[in-house]
Structure 1
């Protein structure tokens, strides 16, 4: 019996206290995650190619889509700043493929990001990382481009915020937390991402990185893709004249002809006398495997997992869900999950939450 009054006894719970409450952020702990980029910013010229602060307000229109990018006083986010987003996207996609829950806030060790993206790990490397996060947070975007089947008509940053959680004694960042924008997180949840070659982080020139992104998005698994030099300049977001842009692309083509350094694709220019008629050709090197007869390479699932799938998606035919999952794995260009059972159950949960179960 419990006494009432000021000296009443406090009943002790039969449960131990929750010593480690559920975190509202995702910890990056997958060290071999394949690099991933979101398709929207691979398609559109979101990032600056300049090595100097780019203070231009740019607007890109193509067909019915438009995007306006406004810099902060530090300038537009650069294509090298994009490394931070690629690292975060890669970690979250790898976790989703393992059936783990993810969050819009991502926490990681600065050293892990620097090494994963082939950056310097000295004091200069940490300074550049800090400046990159400031530009990502300061660059504002307004667009009608859909991301994850959602049309966003408001301004937002490439990242909503960042926080340096811990620092070394010498002031270098040790642990960082980044909150991704709705735009990027919607793309992750909808698997609107593509795998990038690891040598992407070894490309020295900004124009090379941008050309690779465009080729990866448009050429993809196809044997060849062609684009006019003028439209390519527009997609790159280059501020150069057409003549200067042709010189820059020609240098990339010449270097690739000599060293075969350009990842996944060969690139060349078909000179048609200038005046906007020149064509840039990307040819697949065959390093990106094509989808064979719609059959997934993911191994057969453990029979026990179908019971978990039925609990995760009541009312659905789990064999049909498995077929949809395998198609989705192929079409989303996803890597083979380390734990296919957990990934399949996670897929079933998301499927059930987004769709009404059929009537029995």
Structure 2
């Protein structure tokens, strides 16, 4: 048996080929794909995945609709996504080394399997080919990342994760794989819109826990490293096909096992008694300013806003409408949001005068803005930054 080519790169032959070279590259994922689930959690899903929500940073209503081909096994699964993670990780590494990249990427099955740290065998090659087909036939329509700041209405982009793919075989063995990935995905990587994943992610077997890890990694990416969310909200963002009661049962089992890499899970309750999941990073990142200069730029590229930080930006926009930019900039925006825990928001200010002014004049508006976003506030707590490095004195008060 001689040389055999399956598939083919026809429409994008003018793209420069980017050849994978590094095997031990840190795993990375694109931020938007971690905020809500864009992949099937189980094989064979043909029911569309739909998300519709208001982006807290832009105020725009965003939508995501994902469909798959029944002929090729439905929507691409969260395990198929490993191939995209491989490409993203290779791109980011090459960019940081100053190498030219392209969305036309060439690699060998051995490089992919070595990166995943799995032993290649017959069924692994078959699964890889099936994944290529599902990634190509999965259709995405979304308004996410459509020229923020320039648009006055939602623009929908349509694409597949893989535009074209080609497999070269010689003497019955796969020698090389070439894929052209979505321009939407490639463009986001140019701006390092990524987060680093724990390498143990690929050891997570189930779809529900895989997505939960990705979401927890995004949500706990801020300085505090902690995030809480209701079971129901996580259920909706996961796009699970399970009934809610079964999904909630799965979450309870995952909490009991507590085996997600680098993340601690705990069941807590909201003020209204709703089940909530507390997620805490156990390997919290160092502050970028404390890193050596050589590592600082890399670390800063990984720092993304947490949902709490995004909500704070939205609160400021709400207050702008009621109080005006001048007032908000003078008294509110200068507050440092420390964290949110057990219904209490903590802020830090540089002087007692600022705290007193906000307490007397603006605190009710501040609480109303947070509550309008669905936060159950018991209190807002203020600290005055001490002259001693790293210390602060508490001067806040409970909700009135």
Instruction: Report the TM-score when normalising by structure 1.
Output: 0.72
Query: Retained in 2: the 8 A contact 1:36–1:193?
Result: yes
* 2:286 matches 1:329: no
Instruction: Give the superposition deviation at 1:209.
Output: 0.8
Instruction: Give the superposition deviation at 1:45.
Output: 1.6
Q: Quick one: distance in 2 between partners of 1:279 and 1:72?
A: 35
Q: Give the match for residue 49 of structure 2.
A: 58
Instruction: Give the superposition deviation at 1:266.
Output: 0.5
Q: Give the match for residue 160 of structure 1.
A: 163
Q: Give the match for residue 142 of structure 2.
A: 143
CA deviation map 1:73-124 (0-9, x unaligned): 2200000000000000000100000011101111001111112123441000
Change in Cα spacing, 1:23 to 1:289, as seen in structure 2 (3 Å) is: same
CA deviation map 1:200-221 (0-9, x unaligned): 0011111111001001111114
Once the two structures are superposed, the pairs formed by residues 1-360 of structure 1 within 5 Å of their partners are 24-50=16-42, 52-63=43-54, 64-73=61-70, 74=72, 75-146=74-145, 153-164=156-167, 166-170=168-172, 172-221=173-222, 222-256=224-258, 261-270=259-268, 277-285=274-282, 287-292=283-288, 294-299=289-294, 329-333=298-302
Listed as ranges, the gaps of 5+ residues in structure 1 are: 1-21, 301-325, 335-360
Task: For residue 93 of structure 1, give the secondary structure of its aligned residue in structure 2.
Answer: helix
**Aligned positions, number:** 277
Instruction: Give the superposition deviation at 1:330.
Output: 2.9
Change in Cα spacing, 1:207 to 1:125, as seen in structure 2 (3 Å) is: same
Q: Quick one: distance in 2 between partners of 1:273 and 1:127?
A: 50
Task: For residue 114 of structure 2, give the secondary structure of its aligned residue in structure 1.
Answer: helix
Q: Quick one: distance in 1 between partners of 2:119 and 2:139?
A: 27
CA deviation map 1:31-58 (0-9, x unaligned): 11100101111112210001x3000112
Q: Quick one: distance in 1 between partners of 2:85 and 2:216?
A: 17
Q: Quick one: distance in 2 between partners of 1:113 and 1:153?
A: 32
Instruction: Give the superposition deviation at 1:265.
Output: 0.8
Query: Retained in 2: the 8 A contact 1:119–1:125?
Result: no
Instruction: Give the superposition deviation at 1:158.
Output: 1.1
Q: Quick one: distance in 2 between partners of 1:142 and 1:89?
A: 20
Change in Cα spacing, 1:271 to 1:243, as seen in structure 2 (3 Å) is: farther
Change in Cα spacing, 1:298 to 1:27, as seen in structure 2 (3 Å) is: farther
Q: Quick one: distance in 2 between partners of 1:125 and 1:269?
A: 37
Instruction: Give the superposition deviation at 1:147.
Output: 6.6
Change in Cα spacing, 1:147 to 1:112, as seen in structure 2 (3 Å) is: farther
Query: Retained in 1: the 8 A contact 2:146–2:157?
Result: no
Q: Quick one: distance in 2 between partners of 1:215 and 1:148?
A: 27
Change in Cα spacing, 1:147 to 1:178, as seen in structure 2 (3 Å) is: farther
CA deviation map 1:285-329 (0-9, x unaligned): 0x242324x3552439xxxxxxxxxxxxxxxxxxxxxxxxx5x53
Deviates more, 1:22-31 or 1:55-64: 22-31
Relative contact order higher in (CA < 8 Å, ≥ 6 apart)? 1
Task: For residue 228 of structure 2, give the secondary structure of its aligned residue in structure 1.
Answer: strand
Listed as ranges, the gaps of 5+ residues in structure 2 are: 1-13, 55-60, 304-400
Change in Cα spacing, 1:32 to 1:298, as seen in structure 2 (3 Å) is: farther
Query: Retained in 2: the 8 A contact 1:159–1:180?
Result: yes
Q: Quick one: distance in 2 between partners of 1:155 and 1:76?
A: 15
RMSD: 2.4
CA deviation map 1:136-174 (0-9, x unaligned): 11111111101785986231001211111x22423x432
Q: Quick one: distance in 1 between partners of 2:68 and 2:277?
A: 30
Instruction: Report the TM-score when normalising by structure 2.
Output: 0.65
Q: Quick one: distance in 2 between partners of 1:147 and 1:107?
A: 28
Query: Retained in 1: the 8 A contact 2:41–2:240?
Result: yes
Query: Retained in 1: the 8 A contact 2:225–2:284?
Result: no
